[in-house]
Structure 1
Amino acid sequence: MADGRAARGARTREAIVDATIALIREQGAAAVTHRAVAARAGTSLAATTYHFATLDDLLVVAFELLTDRTVAEVERFRDLVLAGDVGLIEAALDFVEQLDAEQGFGADGMLELAYGAMRNERLRKPTRRLVDHLSAPFADLIGTDSARILVRALNGVLLYHRAVAPGRLDHELRSDVTTLFDTFGLTGAVRQRLEED
């Protein structure tokens, strides 16, 4: 009996976190309320507040899970690029346009986390963790410090493009990403790695 209750509790908690992720992806972190999450998860408000007493608790858990999923997706793209299966810029733009919440939260989620961290100190640690983890797949190519700065700069480029042309890729974004990767030496490092293999 206790095992069944624990399993139901774990499923409810997972549904709550998944509902939070969906709300963040669709409407932004500002849309996350206990009531909105409960409605989206198909659970009671009491269950939502039982598992996550504060919205901060819920947002931290959701962003940490999204970070793990996003890093896994970046690593997958990196492996495809280094295997020569996809070009570097195409992989980056695919990541930017990614909308599958099961795989991560892509560019919009990274921006939501950064916005949240400006106002919520508890989200600053997940924000630093995200940058560190997103830069790790490129550290062996261009160095740890350059990889971290590249990820931060890419966030700025994405913020600009999401603000002026939300929901669509354009030539200017492709050009900006290409210039950024060239400037940090990532394009050349990938080319060299492919030639060595």
Structure 2
Amino acid sequence: MGRTDGRLERGMQTRERILDAAIEIIAEGGAGAATQRMVAARAEMSLASITYHFPSARELIIAAMRRASGLAVTWLAERQSHMLTDRDSLEDFTVDYISAHRSGAFPAGIVALELSLAAVHEPDLRSADEDNMAALESFLFKLLSDNDKARAAARAFTGLLLIELGSNREPGSEETRRTIRTLHDVFGFESPPQRSE
């Protein structure tokens, strides 16, 4: 039984390694760049190993986007408790969120955004995209205490993130900060409580 468990665990680790390589490539060049051959090179594995786990490039891309979605949900959840107690303003948090995606420090975040666009044509990706949006809504609900506002704000901030990533502006530019402040005002956000020194 132990031998079977070991093989299963190694197989799962191999799949994750493949998917992480695919996520990096998609983040850098879009879904079209993630060919099985390119992923094999990035993961430093044989092409046969890639095709064993993912017989087609489409299956590989869908699986990579689903993994990116899960990583993005976890990333946001980890920052949620920090955001609700930290001295940083919601504005600074939003700028940091944009910066993390822009810098390439968090490739899964970029791929999770690409997933939203890919889900238009790939019904298999829609549930993963909905999971992303639900995580953002949950985070915003804690700041707004209103489901409808949290839902609308999640969509507005996703749009903001897409627009900022596609612009030449620096994440912390005054124009970007003004837009963030306007969204905060529109939705009635309050900054989280300040910690005492």
Superposed pair shares fold, TM > 0.5: yes
Q: 1:167 to 1:4 in 2, by over 3 A?
A: farther
More helix by share: 1
User: SS of the residue aligned with 2:166?
Assistant: helix
Q: TM-score, normalised by structure 1?
A: 0.82
Q: Kindly, what percent of the aligned residue pairs are identical?
A: 32
Q: 1:12 to 1:113 in 2, by over 3 A?
A: same
Which residue matches 1:165?
168
Which residue matches 1:114?
116
The offset of 1:16, in angstroms, is 0.3
Q: Find 2:156's aligned residue among 143, 153, 156.
A: 153
Which residue matches 2:183?
180
Q: Find 2:32's aligned residue among 27, 30, 33.
A: 30
User: SS of the residue aligned with 1:118?
Assistant: coil
User: SS of the residue aligned with 1:105?
Assistant: helix
Which residue matches 1:40?
42
Aligned length: 190
Structure 2 residue 13 is matched with structure 1 residue 11: yes
Q: Find 1:80's aligned residue among 79, 82, 88.
A: 82
Per chain length, whose mean CA-contact separation is higher, i.e. which structure has more relative contact order (CA < 8 Å, sep 6+)? 2
The offset of 1:74, in angstroms, is 2.0
Residue type of the alignment partner of 2:36: H
Cα-Cα RMSD: 2.5
Runs (5+) with no aligned partner, structure 2: none
Residue type of the alignment partner of 2:88: V
Which residue matches 1:100?
105
Runs (5+) with no aligned partner, structure 1: none
Q: TM-score, normalised by structure 2?
A: 0.82
CA distance in 1 between partners of 2:94 and 2:122 (Å): 29
Which residue matches 1:133?
135
CA distance in 1 between partners of 2:170 and 2:142 (Å): 32
Q: 1:60 to 1:39 in 2, by over 3 A?
A: same
The offset of 1:32, in angstroms, is 1.2
Which residue matches 2:91?
89
Q: Indicate conservation of the 8 Å contact 2:15/2:53, yes or no.
A: yes
